[in-house]
Structure 1
Amino acid sequence: MKSATTDSPWAPLAARVFRALWIAQLVSNIGTWMQTVGAQWLLVGDSAALMTLVQTAASLPVVLLALPSGVIADRFDRRVVLVTAQFAMLAVSGALAVLAFLDALTPTVLLLLTFLLGCGTALMGPAWQAIQPELVERKRLGQAAALGAVNMNLARAVGPALGGAVVAAAGAGWVFAFNAASYLGIAAVLLLWRRPAAASAPPATNEGLLAALHAGRRYVWNAPGVRRVLLRTLLFIPGGAALWALLPLTASRSLGLGSGGYGLLLAAVGVGAVGGAFLLPRAHRVLGANGTLTAGALMFAGVLAVLATVHTPWVVALALLPAGLAWIAVLSTLNAAVQTRLPGWVRARGLSVYLLVFQGGQALAAPLWGTVADWLGLSACLLIAGAVMLLSAATVRRWPLRDAEGINPTPSDHWPAPPLVFAPEESDGPVLVSVVYRVPAEHWGKFTERMHRVARSRRRTGALSWGLYQDGHAPERFVENYLVSSWAEHLDQHHVRLTATDRRFEEEARALLTPGSTPEVTHAFDTSGGPPIRP
């Protein structure tokens, strides 16, 4: 392995806290995969639809809780959020173990407790992703994302085989017990982490939880690069979910394997993913991000076709190696893309939307594939999933990931203090911000074109509406108007939400102004609901 001090795939491991968390997470992920095997194998004798509900029960909480979890992670100390989630999941896994040992774990109770574990995962997901820039340099976020996928797939290489062996030898209770204990490692590292005081301080904004939720939604909607990452995720996940939902049925019904054999099939996926981590930097250099997405989807489609038509265990196991490679290649590319496009003030909320699409796609697709398998048969279902994955590959050229080279999410507090004659309350508003520009005739077209990027910046950071108007009496005079819900929201624009990219968009538009002129900014407060504000 290359030295972690170079820009190798392992470079982020040179950071002590990242390394300790990575190791603790590996142990926890092994426990999670052991538990997944135990839970699925307890239901493998039932209908396909019921068995695939294990994946739905684990993923559905993200659909319900991802956005509130993102708000919590942006509003409160992320370390406290993560530690709380670890102990909550420890308690639920402990309950699973006790009930399994007492032989009182019915399918309904199993699915309910799996759902509660999913709630813990949903709570920690945005916070876990959002602390990564505190642990490694921004230029290494892509490598950190890949190492996160390596972690999961190393666990997949070990956990399922170990879980299958434990279930066969001692029963499912012991895999649930190991999973419960595995959460203690992450909690210990987080509690011992000497995090800088500035990172754990409360946010420099007083926005309420509902306002914070709307702010996150507004940011994502007005960030074309983030939206494109979400679209690519949505197009990949449904086909990919078929592998995880139907592999237990493939093992038992198509290949005649027991829980140990199923664990070995999952291990093959994990081994392929770990190998893919070594190939990923080269793949990105040769293929680029969009080429990697296309190749990964094509490879996954081929694997699904093999699962549908081949009934020899060792051939299927070999075919699952490229499935792991494709999975890590695509998800690492998407995860790194969304990480590098989000500023700190809304990072957890933006990531929560990504997790919502990722986990929600799996939660909704898994029972659908189970129903199709019961209706048309396992082989036909896998072939349909392969066709869906081919469709994903075919759409990359039409909807590629946008280039992120020009995106710099570094905070930029470059707006001057508003020159008001009175001090508004934070709740005062809505506030109409008007900016007057003077533009020579030869730049009118280019100016309005550049202001469209400024418009997205305004909307991302708080504007409810935006417009650019040309004065009919003095055509060189352009007026930008945008409405912000409150004075507090506008102050957040000033001091918290603007980035270096937003500043660049403004400077590019203002470079076209009449030489010597400067924008004139005014702030007007809504008085339709009450008397005007007095100095």
Structure 2
Amino acid sequence: MKRQIFKAFEYPEFRIMWLGACTSSIGTWMQNLAQSWLVYELTKSAWYLGLDAFLGQIPIFLFSILGGVVADRKDRRKVLVVSQIIQMSCAFLLATLAYLHIVQVWHILALSFTVGTAQAFGGPAYQALVPSLVKKEDLQNAIAMNSIQFNVARVIGPTIGGVTLAKFGAVWCFGINALSFLAVIFTLTKVAPRPPAMTHKEPILESMKVGLRFIRDNSAMRSLVALAFLMTLLGVPLLTFLPVVAERVYHLGEDAYSSMLVISGIGSVVGGIFVAATSNYQKKGLLSLVALGTLGALIFGFGIAPNFYVSLVMLFCAGAALIACFGLVSSLVQAIVQDSMRGRVMSVYNVAFRGGMPFGAFAAGKAIESFGVQQVLAANGLLLMLITGIFFFTQRRLARL
């Protein structure tokens, strides 16, 4: 069992990239924690928190399909390096603005949009590169291990970030994040260059249409893309508005917020291990629907939790369910698509998966100001349960995957 869970680590290039990505993710979570707290401290507004999340994610919705075309035409490793350099520069700039005590909320919003644009091109390139590092039969395990590294970082990053924010301030969180990108850039130099997947250079617009047609003509792929969008639209606001829950509901400070992120991250690691351990399970589509329905129930439970400690239990379990659903859906998408179209198809999936985040954050941020954070999160949970039932009865092919 242990060997099956860590199967992808038998591939040296994957192992190197995993370590670099984990280091960078720790820095990113440190910045996310400090940035969310700084935005809320500057504005005292849930709407601005939602707007920051919206601006960080909306470029992925707008530009990822173009990023997928680039990933199929160019050296995916070089695309990733450029993306990392841009994100590193933004982190350094934010650290400088905070150090000089001249940072304003519009600075943060503009930098979030720039980072999101870089991720719109780096994300498809990374997702298309990973399958080339392992054998096809070990792909779900590799995806699960990537989820685990991301969520190990969600545990370590907020833990270090919470202490750093409390003791030294946001500047250090931003600066450490900037330095962490060097780890990814270094590890990418150790990965052998991959030639572009497309040998025939058709026009960019036509190339984008081919990727969209592939998804349109495949009912299972359409269902998976829709599922990814709805999962993040209604599920991710749980994490986006934790600062509001900590302060408004439980009247606690940044330490409580950091603890909530850590607990959610630990749950997500458990969810990632579950996905890695079930890589040979046949009915992944059905399992993903079970995970989605469970996520909805747990978000509803978090929304009606009577105290802080019950909310932590709900948050732990919700973190596991969210990553289990993400890992299962991602592995199904990767298994369906061929390598020559992987960048384009994964970019559309990325649009759906990441595109749900800004719209969900923006809508929830507006609704929270009118109805309250617990009420909005509970409603999101109920909607996820309803959607799971609709998919189960109307998308039978997905349940059979």
TM-score by length of 1: 0.71
User: Gaps (5+ residues) in structure 1?
Assistant: 406-535
Partner of 2:201: 206
How far is 1:261 from its partner? 1.5
Structure-1 separation of matches of 2:398 and 2:2: 31
How far is 1:149 from its partner? 1.0
Which of residues 66, 84, 88 in structure 1 aligns to 2:64?
66
Which of residues 137, 144, 153 in structure 2 aligns to 1:146?
144
1:354-503 equivalences in 2 (<5 Å): 354-397=349-392, 398-400=394-396, 402=398
Which of residues 277, 284, 293 in structure 1 aligns to 2:288?
293
> Is 1:229–1:401's contact at 8 Å kept on the other side of the alignment?
no
Which of residues 226, 230, 236 in structure 2 aligns to 1:235?
230
Amino acid in structure 2 at the alignment position of 1:295: V
1:253 aligns with 2:251: no
Secondary structure at 2:30 match in 1 = helix
1:141-290 equivalences in 2 (<5 Å): 141-195=139-193, 199-200=194-195, 203-280=198-275, 288-290=283-285
The structure-2 alpha-carbon separation of the partners of 1:388 and 1:191, relative to structure 1 and needing over 3 Å to count, comes to same
Partner of 2:122: 124
1:42-61 equivalences in 2 (<5 Å): 42-45=38-41, 46-61=44-59
User: Gaps (5+ residues) in structure 2?
Assistant: none
> Is 1:71–1:209's contact at 8 Å kept on the other side of the alignment?
yes
Secondary structure at 2:198 match in 1 = coil
Per-residue Cα deviation, 1:488-518 (whole angstroms, up to 9, x for no partner) = xxxxxxxxxxxxxxxxxxxxxxxxxxxxxxx
Partner of 2:31: 35
> Is 2:283–2:400's contact at 8 Å kept on the other side of the alignment?
no
Per-residue Cα deviation, 1:256-304 (whole angstroms, up to 9, x for no partner) = 2211221111111111111223333566777932332233223222322
The structure-2 alpha-carbon separation of the partners of 1:404 and 1:147, relative to structure 1 and needing over 3 Å to count, comes to farther
Structure-1 separation of matches of 2:273 and 2:23: 21
Structure-1 separation of matches of 2:24 and 2:218: 34
> Is 2:229–2:355's contact at 8 Å kept on the other side of the alignment?
no
Secondary structure at 1:395 match in 2 = helix
Structure-2 separation of matches of 1:256 and 1:338: 42
The structure-2 alpha-carbon separation of the partners of 1:211 and 1:66, relative to structure 1 and needing over 3 Å to count, comes to same
> Is 1:59–1:363's contact at 8 Å kept on the other side of the alignment?
yes
Structure-2 separation of matches of 1:355 and 1:340: 15
The structure-2 alpha-carbon separation of the partners of 1:275 and 1:339, relative to structure 1 and needing over 3 Å to count, comes to same
- The alignment covers a number of residue pairs equal to 398
| Greater share of strand | 1
Structure-2 separation of matches of 1:287 and 1:51: 40
Structure-1 separation of matches of 2:395 and 2:211: 23
| Higher RCO, Cα 8 Å, sep 6+ | 2
Partner of 2:2: 2
How far is 1:224 from its partner? 2.4
Structure-2 separation of matches of 1:281 and 1:51: 33
> Is 2:268–2:316's contact at 8 Å kept on the other side of the alignment?
yes
Structure-2 separation of matches of 1:128 and 1:380: 37
Structure-2 separation of matches of 1:283 and 1:395: 25
> Is 1:250–1:307's contact at 8 Å kept on the other side of the alignment?
no
1:92 aligns with 2:95: no
Partner of 1:135: 133
The structure-2 alpha-carbon separation of the partners of 1:182 and 1:264, relative to structure 1 and needing over 3 Å to count, comes to same
How far is 1:248 from its partner? 1.7
How far is 1:202 from its partner? 7.2
> Is 2:197–2:339's contact at 8 Å kept on the other side of the alignment?
no
The structure-2 alpha-carbon separation of the partners of 1:159 and 1:211, relative to structure 1 and needing over 3 Å to count, comes to same
Structure-2 separation of matches of 1:337 and 1:61: 25
The structure-2 alpha-carbon separation of the partners of 1:404 and 1:304, relative to structure 1 and needing over 3 Å to count, comes to closer
Q: Percent identity?
A: 28
The structure-2 alpha-carbon separation of the partners of 1:261 and 1:79, relative to structure 1 and needing over 3 Å to count, comes to same
The structure-2 alpha-carbon separation of the partners of 1:217 and 1:187, relative to structure 1 and needing over 3 Å to count, comes to same
> Is 2:68–2:345's contact at 8 Å kept on the other side of the alignment?
yes
Structure-2 separation of matches of 1:31 and 1:207: 39
Structure-1 separation of matches of 2:209 and 2:40: 42
| Greater share of helix | 2
